[in-house]
Amino acid sequence: MYKNILVPVDVYETSLADKALQHAQFLAQSASGDIHLLHVMPKFSAELTRGFISDARKMDEYMINNAKEKLSDLVKKLNLPEERVHLHVRSGNVRDEVIKLADELAAGAIIVGSRNPNIQTHLLGSEAASIVRYAHVPVFVIR
């Protein structure tokens, strides 16, 4: 049932990912499934990078490599064979990229770490709430 489990993580705030990873590991072990870790970087606008395109490319490469390193560190926390954990780094809107990758992978579930709600997240919404609202597969929100 859960052959592909997608876990979006912010590599700069891994405390949210720790509990989500524990749940993903449990589901993956139960179903002999794979875990797909996804980090989504913001996309730079053309106006911001005009005149600095070579520097923008270098910065983009640096950010991708840095994100992959941090994702690799998260993999070490899992008690799964490395071939069952896959790393993805994309640029764009978090919700859109999570849903797009979930569809591409035919994911059985998405597991998202979330903070406890406060007035700000109730008024503005959160990435987790947005993913829950638009995903085509079950979404587990872990607090």
114 to each of 23, 51, 52, 102, 128, how far by Cα in Å? Answer: 13, 38, 36, 18, 7
Going by the DSSP 8-state scheme, the letter that residue 108 receives in this structure is S
User: Average pLDDT over the chain, rounded to whole?
Assistant: 87
* Predicted TM-score of the model (pTM): 0.88
User: How far is CA 2 from its chain centroid?
Assistant: 17
For residues 118 and 127, give the distance between their C-alpha atoms in angstroms, rounded to a whole number: 14
- Read off the pLDDT of residues 11-56 as tens digits, 9 standing for 90 and up: 988 888 888 999 999 999 999 999 999 999 987 655 555 656 667 7
Q: Please say if the pLDDT value at position 105 is more than 80.
A: yes
List the single range of 13-17, 81-85, 94-98, 99-103 with lowest mean pLDDT: 13-17
For residues 29 and 130, give the distance between their C-alpha atoms in angstroms, rounded to a whole number: 28
- Identify the sign of the CA torsion 121, 96, 21, 13: negative
